[in-house]
A = this chain, B = another copy of it.
């Protein structure tokens, strides 16, 4: 026989969302963002169901409650707004609501003039038992209602008025009979991040290229002097490739050459020398004080410094001597370098997650994060996390975030979808994406739908370029290609970034045709950039980033709608957050201007058919007055090959003004 309690739980709660793998992993949310919880809730037969959402920070003992509302066909929704960072729990409690069932039946009977005394007596009993659950004046009030309902001496009409009164309904909502309530099978988890996990604009630069003196190794101090350049463009995360001493063994020269000049600076990802490893600063970049100064100057400009964590070592890294068991050894005693036969990467020793000392290794790696967190860093870009064990990341991120829930980790994994998704599930707050290679309208649209499917846990960060990837579309070298790609990145995804100044200075020369490697890549050598170049895209980027900062709709992703354009070289989409609506139109052809008719989904734009609406181009500051769903656009490849419109509903006054002023 089943548990006695289970026998009375008639309500079913199913398909609760957001949930990731049945609650195995937390879904993601942002502080102060409304979390919408949906579920299928129903019972046997025809009784009315009531449901509430319960939620709390994981550490709290008491659940807060919010009522849920029926939508249709057994679908219900509720919402809550997390008020603290970190892990939250939520679940649903639902029960057969005998009072509401009774009111509904009574209403039908009343409509057919079939109400009898016993019908009201049933309600009186329900109200009486609610009175017993209540206390003080509420109990008294409920008791009074019960008496009035049940009193056979009183006129039936009067008793019906009591039955249907709002006062009674409200009193009853506050004192439901939950003895046979069902609680959803699994308590679901939510990881609540700060705003910047959801909305961030990244700028990646190699500090060593920022010396004002040609050929000299740049430093933190040089970067600090140029922080205004970065901040003025509207970037709020300054991401630095590894800042640690670089190994000399098998050091690579310019353009990945194997024959190295002693003056070649090496690859920043070949981390570690006798001077130190992952917690040491490359002496040419400066001191820890210089680093602290950079952080604090950046902070004063609203810019956060993000560090790169690449969990791998050059053969010269101190760990190689101190912790040889963290590396895989070959039978001849040598350490196994990275290889993808026939390619050898003898300058890199991967960490062996099958080490005999997993506890020591995990703790050692955590110390790296702890060190930089101690210095005030809260954003990390993690290099190739998919080549490190998933259980390690799950443990590491949970451990770090338990103390520092403001932490943001960006996963740099360009690999198969299941693997990228798993990294997001185990805790990475943001993820690099395939955006870099999605160029046509069909590719972009399909990809955005794929991302929408994993929206509960996977937060995309769109990059048109990285030091490793100069995509073919940018190799065309046209200004239109660079602008379009940044507009797409910055308006399709609330998190985006560029590798600069290569991007704004339109660096487009590949190492050789058919490769995505930059010629004279900063990965291998020091470069100098002319930030004052007249052709620089900095002004356009500034304009795009300003639009992002001033329009909340661009700061989220689940609010995207595509609109039809006849010309498939034009992509058209909008984002909406309450009254803020932005419509983007982008020319996907890097070589030719494109014109065409677009069919707007006016409902998605929040404008009425027949009413004109104002289109304010946030890139050029020009105003257009549109009306109806079908409009013509021209996207000029010689100028700005995109519109980013703020869509403004016309109020009557504004409209009058337009027509008569």
Contacts and interface: CB of A to CB of B under 8 A. Distances in A.
Interface of A: 1-2, 4, 6-10, 12, 14, 21-22, 24, 40, 42, 44-46, 73-74, 96, 105-106, 108-109, 111-112, 114, 118, 121-122, 124-125, 150, 180, 185, 330-332, 334, 339-342, 350, 353-354, 358-359, 362-363, 386-392, 395, 416-419, 422
Nearest to A425: B14
A395 B114 contact: no
A527 to B, nearest CB: 31
B390 A44 contact: yes
Given A109-B342, A112-B341, A124-B331, A358 B8 contact: yes
A111 B1 CA distance: 66
A388 B44 contact: yes
Given A10-B354, A342-B112, A121 B331 contact: yes
A74 B10 contact: no
B180 A391 contact: no
Nearest to A179: B354
Given A118-B330, A124-B331, A353-B10, A42 B416 contact: yes
Per assembly, the copies of the chain total: 2
B339 A185 contact: no
25 contacts: A1-B362, A2-B395, A4-B358, A4-B359, A6-B395, A7-B362, A9-B391, A24-B185, A44-B389, A45-B350, A45-B386, A45-B387, A45-B388, A73-B417, A74-B416, A74-B418, A74-B419, A96-B354, A108-B342, A109-B341, A109-B342, A114-B341, A118-B331, A121-B332, A122-B330
A108 B341 contact: yes
Given A74-B418, A330-B118, A419-B42, A389 B7 contact: yes
A358 B1 CA distance: 10
Max chain B CB contacts within 10 Å: which of A45, A74, A108, A125?
Answer: A45
A44 B332 contact: no
Contacts of A395: 1-2, 6-7
Q: Which 7 A-B pairs have the closest CB atoms?
A: A22-B22, A108-B341, A112-B342, A7-B358, A121-B331, A45-B387, A74-B418
A122 B105 CA distance: 78
Contacts of A350: 45
A354 B179 CA distance: 11
Contacts of A10: 353-354, 389-391
A346 B417 CA distance: 60
B14 A422 contact: yes
A63 B493 CA distance: 47
Given A24-B185, A42-B418, A112-B341, 18 more contacts: A1-B362, A6-B391, A6-B395, A7-B389, A7-B391, A8-B354, A10-B354, A12-B422, A14-B21, A40-B418, A42-B422, A45-B350, A45-B386, A74-B418, A74-B419, A111-B342, A114-B342, A121-B331
Given A21-B14, A44-B390, A389-B44, A7 B418 contact: no
A2 B180 CA distance: 38
Max chain B CB contacts within 10 Å: which of A46, A330, A341?
Answer: A341
Given A1-B359, A118-B332, A362-B2, A44 B112 contact: no
Contacts of A108: 341-342
A109 B390 CA distance: 28
A243 B378 CA distance: 74
Nearest to A389: B10
B359 A7 contact: yes
Contacts of A22: 21-22
Nearest to A113: B342
Given A14-B422, A121-B330, A1 B363 contact: yes
Contact of A386 (B40, B44, B419): B44
A25 B489 CA distance: 43
Contacts of A386: 44-45
Contacts of A109: 341-342
A109 to B, nearest CB: 5
A4 to B, nearest CB: 6
A73 to B, nearest CB: 6
